[in-house]
Structure 1
Amino acid sequence: MKILDGGVGRELERRGAPFRQPEWSALALWEAPEIVKQVHIDFIQAGAEVITTNNYAVVPFHIGQERFEQDARQLISTAVQQAKLAVQDTQKNTLIAGCIPPLFGSYRADLFDQNHVSEIALPIIETLSPDVDLWLAETQSCLQEVEMVHALVPKDHRLYWVSFTLQDNINLAQSHLRSGETLAEAAVLLKKLNIDAVLFNCCQPEVILQAIHEIKQLVPHIQIGAYANAFAPQDETATANDGLDDVRADLDPNMYLNFAKQWQHAGASLIGGCCGISPAHIKQLSSHLKE
């Protein structure tokens, strides 16, 4: 069982770090990297055993093509350095996961362009590679993108985790990615690529339990994880960059722990939080799920 961190971007916003559309969490890498480090530290002190580099928004979708070409490597280097400094300052054996974000925007499988995968993914991978302990492809909803990016990552000893974002519809008979692709289709790819762990993130906690049960049947021996967001359900029109979504008032650390206990009981062994999940939530997970 490993405890992951929570949502760095919304934690930056909550603390008054520079945070606006369209740059989101990338803006703090320019203007307030010390706050990025402090957020990492607070998650580690809350019990996170894995933290993820804060380069999720360092893609053209958020910072623009010109700025990406000019500044991406420096921004990503800043992100990984702040994670390393946080681990050093806390003197913990915390693992650093290298964030591979959705290259064309969260939930936007419709914007996937196979002709531009390498030019976006390689600066991310090459800059992170010397300093990360494992890879985490986050908020994935396009299976072709997952496969193409995986082919670009160094094939060495490091673990490779893929985290899918699910449709926020508790009435579906089967879980679906935001693209509409099924977990059965995802399972074929996970086996083909020999992925080390499959996780579910950036969707409401109510839809994750069903997905865990499904993937456990489809890929019995894979490690499973979950880190939900604290947003209200995002339907098929959601783009994750139209505005600052409200955080649910009901999803306090105790309620989130109740969901996490269900995930753990169903077989998840990598549990943390996504957007809106704070160090207080992670502390609650660490205190109870590690027992």
Structure 2
Amino acid sequence: MVNNNITLLDGGMGQELVHRSSFKPDSLWSTRVLLDEYDLVVNLHKDFIKAGADGITINSYGITPHRLKRHNLDNMFVTLQQKSVAAAKQAIDEMSSTKKIQIYGCLPPLIGSYYRTVGINRTEAVEIYKKMIEIQERGVDAFICETVTSIEEAQILIEATSETSKKVILSFTVDEVDGTILRSGESLELALNQFDNSKVDEFLINCSPPESMIMSLEILKKFSKPFGTQPNGFETCLPLTPGENVSVLKKRNDFNQEKFVNFVLECINEGASIVGGCCEVSPEYISAINNKIFNLNK
């Protein structure tokens, strides 16, 4: 149980599924697990719920037409999107939790993570996101626009989500050293200012080092929307080249539960009301922060 004013999100689905899988990772990443080891996806969602998460994000981060096409699986786009929603719903049904667990739809980068540009025509990008929304919408409570690297990418996502009635969370990823700028090199403050009066409901910073995110907090606090953080535990996460797999991404030796909990508590002290984790944040990390928040509010 967590403070009613704090929403505790889950951790990183993709990396944790790769760690749990019996197969070697390839460039399909967690989508491969959804195809070949579906029960692992359901069970990981359940583990995050057991850990105390108020919401779980569907495992669709890698399900984009361009990523699937590299493996001649573009005809599976709709089916895999549907399976990712079904896995989250199944997990909640099997847990029979006494609290309402939110399901977050996932609107990820279309070509690959951390690229400075969208990588495809703007009109095409909007249409792909609209298709994702159409497939996911009935089964989710909100949408997270994840790992957004640039203002242009954010504009595309806001256009695509303009007709949904569901809550929209805009989540930027910032520079690994300077948390005041996006990975595109653009100002985080400029980006947030552009969307502060939009239909976006909440701002997040995700998939960035905690040290960099601390710098982001000072900017997030200037705006009217609720905000939060989801740090990753990578040594570095420079863009993977198409076809490269996630085995090249290494976890930091110092990214332990204590460090994660201390960082999240600092974010909460600075006004964050949405907290959770990204890559290399397992259910054990979420349980650790859940227990800490609960004890603080006894």
* Counterpart pick for 1:253 among 246, 251, 257: 257
Output aligned runs, 1:96-115, within 5 Å: 96-113=103-120, 114-115=122-123
Other-structure match for 1:239: 239
* Counterpart pick for 1:284 among 285, 288, 291: 288
Structure 1: 4+ residue segments shifted above 6 A: none
Mapped pair 1:139 → 2:147: yes
**1:127 Cα shift?**
0.8
In structure 1, how many angstroms separate the alpha carbons of the residues matched to 2:283 and 2:113?
A: 23
- Per mean C-alpha deviation after superposition, the further-off stretch among 71-80 and 246-255 is 246-255
Is contact 1:40-1:51 (8 Å) kept? yes
In structure 2, how many angstroms separate the alpha carbons of the residues matched to 1:17 and 1:48?
A: 26
Other-structure match for 2:3: none
Output aligned runs, 1:160-199, within 5 Å: 160-169=168-177, 172=178, 175-199=180-204
In structure 2, how many angstroms separate the alpha carbons of the residues matched to 1:200 and 1:185?
A: 14
Mapped pair 1:77 → 2:82: yes
Other-structure match for 2:207: 202
In structure 1, how many angstroms separate the alpha carbons of the residues matched to 2:21 and 2:220?
A: 39
Show structure 1 runs of 5+ residues with no match: none
Show structure 2 runs of 5+ residues with no match: 1-5
Is contact 1:12-1:19 (8 Å) kept? no
- Per mean C-alpha deviation after superposition, the further-off stretch among 139-148 and 117-126 is 117-126
Other-structure match for 2:233: 230
TM-score by length of 2: 0.89
What is the identity percentage for the equivalent residue pairs of Structure 1 and Structure 2? 29
Is contact 2:34-2:83 (8 Å) kept? yes
Instruction: Say which SS state the counterpart of residue 181 (structure 2) adopts.
Output: coil
* Counterpart pick for 2:67 among 46, 62, 82: 62
Instruction: Say which SS state the counterpart of residue 232 (structure 2) adopts.
Output: coil
* Counterpart pick for 2:102 among 95, 101, 122: 95
**1:197 Cα shift?**
0.7
C-alpha RMSD of the superposition: 1.8
Instruction: Say which SS state the counterpart of residue 188 (structure 1) adopts.
Output: helix
Q: Which amino acid aligns with 2:108?
A: P
**1:36 Cα shift?**
0.3
TM-score by length of 1: 0.91
**1:194 Cα shift?**
3.0
Output aligned runs, 1:46-57, within 5 Å: 46-57=51-62
In structure 2, how many angstroms separate the alpha carbons of the residues matched to 1:17 and 1:263?
A: 36
- Per mean C-alpha deviation after superposition, the further-off stretch among 52-61 and 147-156 is 147-156
In structure 2, how many angstroms separate the alpha carbons of the residues matched to 1:194 and 1:252?
A: 36
**1:20 Cα shift?**
2.2
**1:18 Cα shift?**
4.1
**1:34 Cα shift?**
1.0
Count of matched residue pairs: 283
Other-structure match for 1:159: 167
Is contact 2:161-2:168 (8 Å) kept? no
In structure 2, how many angstroms separate the alpha carbons of the residues matched to 1:193 and 1:26?
A: 32
Q: Which amino acid aligns with 1:224?
A: F
In structure 2, how many angstroms separate the alpha carbons of the residues matched to 1:120 and 1:19?
A: 29
